[in-house]
Amino acid sequence: MAAKDLGKPWGGRFSEGTDELLERLSASVGFDRRLAPYDLEGSQAHARMLGRVGLISAEESTLIVRGLDELRKRVAQDRFQWDPRLEDVHMNLERALVDLIGPAGEKLHTARSRNDQVALDSRLYLRDMARRAGSELRRLRAVIVEKASKAKEAPMPGYTHLQRAQPVLLAHHLMAYYQMLTRDQARLGDLYRRLDCMPLGSGALSGTGLPIDPQMVAESLAFTRLAENSLDAVAGRDHLLEFISFGAILMINLSRLAEDLVLWCSQEFAFAELPDSLSTGSSMMPQKKNPDGAELMRGKSGRVLGNLTALMTVVKGLPMSYNRDLQEDKEPLFDTVDTLLLVLPVAARLVEGLKFNYGRLREAADDPYAPATDLADHLVRRGVPFRQAHRQAGEAVAYAVRNKKALVDLTLEELREFCPEAGPEVRAEMTLPAMLAARVTYGGTAPRSVARQLRAARRDLAAELRKGAV
């Protein structure tokens, strides 16, 4: 293939040039150029292998590897001239290689298709991005643990239906997000293990009849497994779907955290405040202090959900094996990576910067009617069937509301009008410290349970760091 024909990988089959509109539709170099470092890395491994097995000479192999090193420098220094007429990142780099080193560059594509080439590039790229996202996610989890530790035994109201339900420790609430994000981390780790599969050697779809050594390429690129099926290797995009799915679930969890931050920092809740550096003002109202970072974190979840829907829609109707529709896999992937790597550090900064109003939190936690469940539990311990205990406690609450009293302020005699089995210790059991201390079940909000959660989290984070886990 002459260097001037490198923009036409279909070679001599066609007598006419490509229509300009089709060229514009086909061009992907505007976005897939970010795969260049990974394409160069894979090409160098491929060139070394071709030289080792004798498909090209040792001298040609060395010349190609050195030429690719030069292209790597140009890309890194933003000196590479991208040509949209050459369609994609692969053809741009190959054309530049031939221009740089001459005919030896035309041998690089021996025993390789752009189909298995891009399959390799995407795995190398995603492996790198998964490590980066995993590092940022682990830092956010560590920030949450540190924030929860500083909260010590500060109480706050727990909510269901956004109505005050039962008191919990602030640390317990924060650690709920730690658990969500820990599952996200595990999902990313599972994906990372499945990325450990080297597809190069699958060719366009059926492998190659040339005597290559894919195991050598795999080892040089730190893969431990080869693709078991060449059709699947070039057509499969579930690793990209899995990453974007991980990103979508993560963003949903972060959106829920953001919603809590927005509520907590409102004047109606007044549970917390963000520092000025993490807030914005109004163009019209001088008094405003807006939690825009949290709101944007919440809003960007929709972006990643859209990326997942887009790629699932592209893949769902494709026959085996490679189809050009799969060019549409990259923009949703790249956008998801960019969004996660932007949002995760912001989330960590927001949590780190929160200043809690512990007095307001305690006041809200000490709700006049929150002890109703503890009253029912007290009656159950004294032999009253739960349904009866529930009804009696509800009647006591209704009486307290009518008389504008807190439940804990009712006298024993008043309580026994509705709860005849109530014992003398019941009022002590309905105080805020007692209610918190009572939730000793595994995973509950009792101080000793939360302390265990914090110890386990620190231990797990330290172990992940020691292992170098994603």
Q: Show the tokens assigned to 3.
A: 């260097």
User: Can you tell me the mean pLDDT for 375-395?
Assistant: 98
220 catalytic residue (yes or no): no
> Which range among 19-23, 379-383, 407-411, 418-422 shows the weakest confidence by mean pLDDT?
19-23
DSSP sequence for 228-255? S-HHHHHH--HHHHHHHHHHHHHHHHHH
282 catalytic residue (yes or no): yes
User: Can you tell me the mean pLDDT for 351-357?
Assistant: 97
Tell me: pLDDT of 2 over 80: no
SS3 371: coil
pLDDT (tens digit per residue) in 441-454: 999 999 999 999 99
Top-level class of domain 115-361: mainly alpha
pLDDT (tens digit per residue) in 254-288: 999 999 999 999 999 999 999 999 999 988 999 99
pLDDT of residue 8: 53
Q: What is the CA radius of gyration of the chain?
A: 31
- 144, 178 in Cβ contact below 8 A? yes
Task: Kindly state which CATH superfamily the domain 365-446 is placed in.
Answer: Fumarase/aspartase (C-terminal domain) (1.10.40.30)
- 230, 203 in Cβ contact below 8 A? yes
Name the catalytic one among 57, 122, 282, 283. Answer: 282
Task: Kindly state which CATH superfamily the domain 3-12+19-110 is placed in.
Answer: Fumarase/aspartase (N-terminal domain) (1.10.275.10)
pLDDT (tens digit per residue) in 79-137: 999 999 999 999 999 999 999 999 999 999 999 999 999 999 999 999 999 999 999 99
pLDDT of residue 11: 62
pLDDT, mean over the chain: 95
SS3 169: strand
Dist CA 316 CA 40 (whole Å): 31
Give the C-alpha distances (Å, rounded to integers) separating 108 from 40, 48, 97, 115. 11, 10, 9, 15
Domain boundary assignment for the chain? 3-12+19-110, 115-361, 365-446
Name the catalytic one among 15, 161, 277, 283. Answer: 161
- 345, 136 in Cβ contact below 8 A? yes
The 3-state DSSP composition of the chain as helix, strand, coil percent (nearest 5) reads 65, 5, 30
Cis previous bond, 279, omega within 30: no
pLDDT of residue 166: 97
Tell me: pLDDT of 232 over 80: yes
Q: Show the tokens assigned to 411.
A: 């006298």
Give the model's confidence band at 4: pLDDT under 50 very low, under 70 low, under 90 confident, else very high: very low
- 268, 352 in Cβ contact below 8 A? no
Q: Show the tokens assigned to 227.
A: 């693709």
**Which amino acid, 157?**
P
Predicted TM-score (pTM) of this structure: 0.94
Phi, psi of 157 (to 5 degrees): -75, 135
SS3 164: strand
